[in-house]
Protein backbone atom coordinates (compact mmCIF):
# COMPACT_ATOMS: atom_id res chain seq x y z
CA UNK A 1 0.00 0.00 0.00
CA UNK A 2 1.19 3.50 -0.85
CA UNK A 3 1.93 5.73 2.12
CA UNK A 4 0.35 9.19 2.37
CA UNK A 5 3.92 10.44 2.86
CA UNK A 6 5.03 9.29 -0.59
CA UNK A 7 5.85 12.27 -2.87
CA UNK A 8 4.89 14.68 -0.11
CA UNK A 9 8.24 15.81 1.29
CA UNK A 10 6.86 18.61 3.48
CA UNK A 11 4.38 16.28 5.17
CA UNK A 12 7.03 13.54 5.47
CA UNK A 13 9.36 16.07 7.13
CA UNK A 14 6.73 16.87 9.78
CA UNK A 15 6.22 13.18 10.53
CA UNK A 16 10.03 12.73 10.69
CA UNK A 17 10.19 15.46 13.33
CA UNK A 18 7.54 13.64 15.36
CA UNK A 19 9.50 10.37 15.07
CA UNK A 20 12.74 12.08 16.13
CA UNK A 21 11.02 13.67 19.13
CA UNK A 22 9.43 10.35 20.12
CA UNK A 23 12.97 8.90 20.26
CA UNK A 24 14.10 11.70 22.59
CA UNK A 25 11.14 11.13 24.89
CA UNK A 26 11.99 7.45 25.17
CA UNK A 27 15.72 8.14 25.73
CA UNK A 28 14.91 10.63 28.46
CA UNK A 29 12.81 8.09 30.33
CA UNK A 30 9.71 10.22 29.87
CA UNK A 31 7.73 7.65 27.90
CA UNK A 32 7.34 4.35 29.74
CA UNK A 33 5.18 1.78 27.99
CA UNK A 34 2.59 3.72 25.94
CA UNK A 35 3.05 6.92 27.98
CA UNK A 36 2.64 10.28 26.35
CA UNK A 37 1.19 11.44 23.05
CA UNK A 38 1.90 13.78 20.18
CA UNK A 39 -0.41 15.47 17.70
CA UNK A 40 0.52 17.81 14.85
CA UNK A 41 -1.86 19.89 12.75
CA UNK A 42 -0.85 19.04 9.18
CA UNK A 43 -3.72 20.80 7.39
CA UNK A 44 -1.34 23.14 5.53
CA UNK A 45 0.21 20.10 3.81
CA UNK A 46 -3.10 18.65 2.67
CA UNK A 47 -3.79 18.60 -1.09
CA UNK A 48 -6.86 17.66 -3.14
CA UNK A 49 -5.78 14.03 -3.37
CA UNK A 50 -5.67 13.79 0.42
CA UNK A 51 -9.02 15.57 0.71
CA UNK A 52 -10.47 12.93 -1.63
CA UNK A 53 -9.06 9.99 0.31
CA UNK A 54 -11.58 7.44 1.58
CA UNK A 55 -11.35 6.72 5.31
CA UNK A 56 -9.73 3.50 6.53
CA UNK A 57 -11.96 3.50 9.62
CA UNK A 58 -15.44 4.33 10.77
CA UNK A 59 -16.37 7.63 12.42
CA UNK A 60 -15.48 8.17 16.05
CA UNK A 61 -16.72 10.88 18.43
CA UNK A 62 -14.12 13.31 19.83
CA UNK A 63 -16.22 13.74 22.99
CA UNK A 64 -16.49 17.48 22.55
CA UNK A 65 -17.31 19.93 19.73
CA UNK A 66 -14.44 22.04 18.39
CA UNK A 67 -15.72 24.50 15.76
CA UNK A 68 -12.30 25.70 14.58
CA UNK A 69 -11.23 22.21 13.52
CA UNK A 70 -13.66 21.78 10.63
CA UNK A 71 -11.77 20.17 7.75
CA UNK A 72 -8.51 19.96 9.69
CA UNK A 73 -6.08 17.06 9.51
CA UNK A 74 -3.78 15.78 12.24
CA UNK A 75 -0.97 13.30 12.54
CA UNK A 76 -1.50 11.54 15.90
CA UNK A 77 0.37 8.95 17.89
CA UNK A 78 -1.78 5.83 18.21
CA UNK A 79 -3.43 4.86 21.47
CA UNK A 80 -1.56 2.10 23.28
CA UNK A 81 1.43 2.58 21.01
CA UNK A 82 4.94 3.09 22.36
CA UNK A 83 6.98 6.25 21.76
CA UNK A 84 10.02 4.11 21.04
CA UNK A 85 8.09 2.32 18.29
CA UNK A 86 6.72 5.62 16.93
CA UNK A 87 10.36 6.73 16.62
CA UNK A 88 11.20 3.87 14.26
CA UNK A 89 7.93 3.29 12.43
CA UNK A 90 5.75 6.40 12.63
CA UNK A 91 3.08 5.29 10.18
CA UNK A 92 2.53 1.99 11.98
CA UNK A 93 2.28 3.61 15.40
CA UNK A 94 0.43 6.73 14.40
CA UNK A 95 -2.07 7.83 11.78
CA UNK A 96 -3.58 10.79 9.95
CA UNK A 97 -7.11 11.76 10.95
CA UNK A 98 -9.66 14.07 9.33
CA UNK A 99 -12.05 16.13 11.45
CA UNK A 100 -15.56 15.84 10.04
CA UNK A 101 -17.96 18.68 9.31
CA UNK A 102 -19.84 18.26 12.60
CA UNK A 103 -16.57 19.28 14.37
CA UNK A 104 -17.37 16.57 16.90
CA UNK A 105 -16.11 13.43 15.17
CA UNK A 106 -13.21 12.19 13.09
CA UNK A 107 -12.16 9.38 10.78
CA UNK A 108 -8.76 7.85 10.11
CA UNK A 109 -7.53 8.30 6.54
CA UNK A 110 -3.94 6.96 6.45
CA UNK A 111 -1.92 4.88 6.42
CA UNK A 112 -3.54 2.25 8.65
CA UNK A 113 -6.53 2.23 10.98
CA UNK A 114 -4.40 3.07 14.03
CA UNK A 115 -6.77 4.62 16.59
CA UNK A 116 -5.38 7.96 17.84
CA UNK A 117 -4.18 8.75 21.33
CA UNK A 118 -6.38 8.32 24.41
CA UNK A 119 -5.82 12.02 25.15
CA UNK A 120 -7.30 13.07 21.81
CA UNK A 121 -9.94 15.33 23.40
CA UNK A 122 -7.28 17.35 25.24
CA UNK A 123 -5.01 17.49 22.22
CA UNK A 124 -7.72 18.59 19.80
CA UNK A 125 -9.08 21.13 22.29
CA UNK A 126 -5.58 22.62 22.46
CA UNK A 127 -5.35 22.78 18.65
CA UNK A 128 -8.79 24.38 18.48
CA UNK A 129 -7.65 27.07 20.89
CA UNK A 130 -4.34 27.62 19.08
CA UNK A 131 -6.22 28.26 15.85
CA UNK A 132 -8.62 30.63 17.63
CA UNK A 133 -5.69 32.58 19.12
CA UNK A 134 -3.97 32.88 15.73
CA UNK A 135 -0.58 32.03 17.26
CA UNK A 136 0.35 29.71 14.37
CA UNK A 137 1.17 26.82 16.71
CA UNK A 138 0.86 23.39 15.10
CA UNK A 139 2.10 20.88 17.68
CA UNK A 140 0.94 19.49 21.02
CA UNK A 141 2.96 17.18 23.23
CA UNK A 142 2.05 15.26 26.36
CA UNK A 143 4.77 13.41 28.23
CA UNK A 144 5.65 11.98 31.65
CA UNK A 145 8.87 13.70 32.78
CA UNK A 146 10.76 12.34 35.77
CA UNK A 147 11.44 15.70 37.37
CA UNK A 148 8.95 17.60 39.43
CA UNK A 149 8.38 20.72 37.39
CA UNK A 150 7.10 23.75 39.23
CA UNK A 151 7.31 27.49 38.80
CA UNK A 152 10.03 27.71 41.44
CA UNK A 153 12.31 25.66 39.22
CA UNK A 154 11.85 28.03 36.37
CA UNK A 155 14.42 30.41 37.81
CA UNK A 156 17.25 27.86 38.09
CA UNK A 157 18.85 28.53 34.74
CA UNK A 158 18.57 31.77 32.81
CA UNK A 159 17.89 29.96 29.55
CA UNK A 160 14.62 28.79 30.98
CA UNK A 161 13.51 32.38 30.99
CA UNK A 162 14.61 32.81 27.40
CA UNK A 163 13.20 29.62 25.97
CA UNK A 164 10.20 29.05 28.18
CA UNK A 165 9.39 32.71 28.83
CA UNK A 166 5.86 32.22 30.06
CA UNK A 167 6.67 29.65 32.74
CA UNK A 168 4.41 26.80 33.72
CA UNK A 169 0.66 26.49 34.32
CA UNK A 170 -0.74 23.97 36.78
CA UNK A 171 -3.83 21.85 36.06
CA UNK A 172 -5.23 20.19 39.22
CA UNK A 173 -5.73 16.43 38.94
CA UNK A 174 -8.43 15.33 36.50
CA UNK A 175 -9.15 11.89 35.08
CA UNK A 176 -6.75 11.09 32.21
CA UNK A 177 -8.46 11.24 28.80
CA UNK A 178 -11.44 13.19 30.18
CA UNK A 179 -13.14 16.23 28.66
CA UNK A 180 -12.71 17.91 32.08
CA UNK A 181 -8.95 17.54 31.66
CA UNK A 182 -9.21 19.04 28.16
CA UNK A 183 -11.15 22.03 29.48
CA UNK A 184 -8.82 22.67 32.41
CA UNK A 185 -5.82 22.40 30.06
CA UNK A 186 -7.02 24.96 27.56
CA UNK A 187 -7.89 27.38 30.38
CA UNK A 188 -4.20 27.30 31.43
CA UNK A 189 -2.97 27.45 27.85
CA UNK A 190 -4.40 30.95 27.47
CA UNK A 191 -1.43 32.04 29.57
CA UNK A 192 1.18 29.30 29.29
CA UNK A 193 2.85 27.14 26.64
CA UNK A 194 3.59 24.39 29.14
CA UNK A 195 1.16 23.07 31.73
CA UNK A 196 1.61 20.45 34.40
CA UNK A 197 -1.09 17.84 34.76
CA UNK A 198 -0.98 17.22 38.48
CA UNK A 199 -0.03 13.61 39.39
CA UNK A 200 0.33 12.78 35.72
CA UNK A 201 2.79 14.71 33.50
CA UNK A 202 3.05 17.78 31.35
CA UNK A 203 1.55 19.16 28.16
CA UNK A 204 3.35 21.59 25.89
CA UNK A 205 2.45 23.38 22.68
CA UNK A 206 4.57 25.13 20.08
CA UNK A 207 4.94 26.14 16.43
CA UNK A 208 6.30 22.63 15.77
CA UNK A 209 7.01 19.51 17.81
CA UNK A 210 10.68 20.39 18.37
CA UNK A 211 9.75 23.69 20.01
CA UNK A 212 7.14 22.04 22.23
CA UNK A 213 9.74 19.45 23.29
CA UNK A 214 12.42 22.11 23.94
CA UNK A 215 10.23 23.91 26.44
CA UNK A 216 9.68 20.78 28.52
CA UNK A 217 13.38 19.97 28.17
CA UNK A 218 14.58 23.32 29.59
CA UNK A 219 12.13 23.14 32.48
CA UNK A 220 13.25 19.60 33.22
CA UNK A 221 16.90 20.71 33.18
CA UNK A 222 16.08 23.43 35.67
CA UNK A 223 14.39 20.85 37.87
CA UNK A 224 17.44 18.59 37.73
CA UNK A 225 19.76 21.42 38.77
CA UNK A 226 17.51 22.28 41.66
CA UNK A 227 17.15 18.70 42.85
CA UNK A 228 20.89 18.01 42.49
CA UNK A 229 21.69 21.09 44.57
CA UNK A 230 19.19 20.00 47.22
CA UNK A 231 20.65 16.51 47.36
CA UNK A 232 24.08 18.10 47.96
CA UNK A 233 22.63 19.87 50.95
CA UNK A 234 21.96 23.44 49.85
CA UNK A 235 19.04 25.45 48.61
CA UNK A 236 20.00 27.04 45.28
CA UNK A 237 19.16 30.72 45.05
CA UNK A 238 18.47 30.67 41.33
CA UNK A 239 18.54 33.75 39.18
CA UNK A 240 17.70 36.87 41.19
CA UNK A 241 14.91 39.23 40.18
CA UNK A 242 17.58 41.77 39.25
CA UNK A 243 19.38 39.29 37.00
CA UNK A 244 16.06 38.30 35.45
CA UNK A 245 15.24 41.95 34.72
CA UNK A 246 18.68 42.43 33.17
CA UNK A 247 18.07 39.40 30.92
CA UNK A 248 14.66 40.70 30.03
CA UNK A 249 16.13 44.02 28.88
CA UNK A 250 19.05 42.42 27.04
CA UNK A 251 17.01 39.84 25.13
CA UNK A 252 13.73 41.68 24.83
CA UNK A 253 11.83 38.89 26.59
O1 LIG B 1 -1.06 7.82 26.05
O2 LIG B 1 0.04 9.20 28.58
O3 LIG B 1 -2.24 10.14 29.42
C4 LIG B 1 -0.85 7.43 27.34
C5 LIG B 1 -0.94 8.59 28.24
C6 LIG B 1 -2.27 8.98 28.70
ZN1 LIG C 1 -0.19 10.54 30.21
- The residue from 20, 119, 159, 242 that is catalytic is 119
Beta-strand runs (E) in 131-228:
139-143, 168-171, 194-197, 201-206
Strand order in 59-61's β-sheet? 59-61, 105-110, 94-99, 73-77, 37-41, 139-143, 201-206, 194-197, 168-171
> CB within 8 A of 130, min separation 6: which ones?
41, 136, 137, 138, 140, 189, 205
Q: Which atom of ligand 1 is nearest to the CA of 143?
A: 2
Distances (CA, A) of 124 to 31, 42, 59, 170: 21, 13, 16, 19
Distance 58 CA to ligand 2 centre (A): 25
Q: Is 119 known to be catalytic?
A: yes
Number of residues written out for the chain = 253
* C-alpha closest to that of 109 among 58, 44, 37: 58
Tell me which of 51-55, 128-132, 136-140, 190-194 is least confident.
190-194
The Cα 82–Cα 22 span in angstroms is 9
pLDDT digits (tens, 9 = 90+) for 16-50: 999 999 999 999 999 999 999 999 999 999 999 99
Q: Which atom of ligand 1 is nearest to the CA of 200?
A: 3
> Is the C-beta atom of 158 inside 6 A of ligand 1?
no
pLDDT digits (tens, 9 = 90+) for 60-99: 999 999 999 999 999 999 999 999 999 999 999 999 999 9
Q: What are phi and psi of 209, to 5 degrees?
A: -70, -30
pLDDT digits (tens, 9 = 90+) for 172-212: 999 999 999 999 999 999 999 999 998 899 999 999 999 99
Q: What is the mean pLDDT of residues 130-147?
A: 95
CB atoms within 10 A of CB 105: 16
* C-alpha closest to that of 94 among 199, 200, 213, 14: 14
| pTM score | 0.93
Q: For a pocket test of ligand 1, which of 30, 76, 119, 185 has the largest count of ligand atoms closer than 8 A to its C-beta? A: 119
Q: What is the CA radius of gyration of the chain?
A: 19
Amino acid sequence: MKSILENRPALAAEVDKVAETAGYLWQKGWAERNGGNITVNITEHVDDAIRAMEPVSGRFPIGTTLPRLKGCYFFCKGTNKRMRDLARRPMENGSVIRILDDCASYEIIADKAVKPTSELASHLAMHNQMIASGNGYKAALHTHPIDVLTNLLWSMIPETRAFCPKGLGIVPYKMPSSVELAEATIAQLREYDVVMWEKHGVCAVGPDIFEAFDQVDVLSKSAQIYLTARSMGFEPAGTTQEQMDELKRAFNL
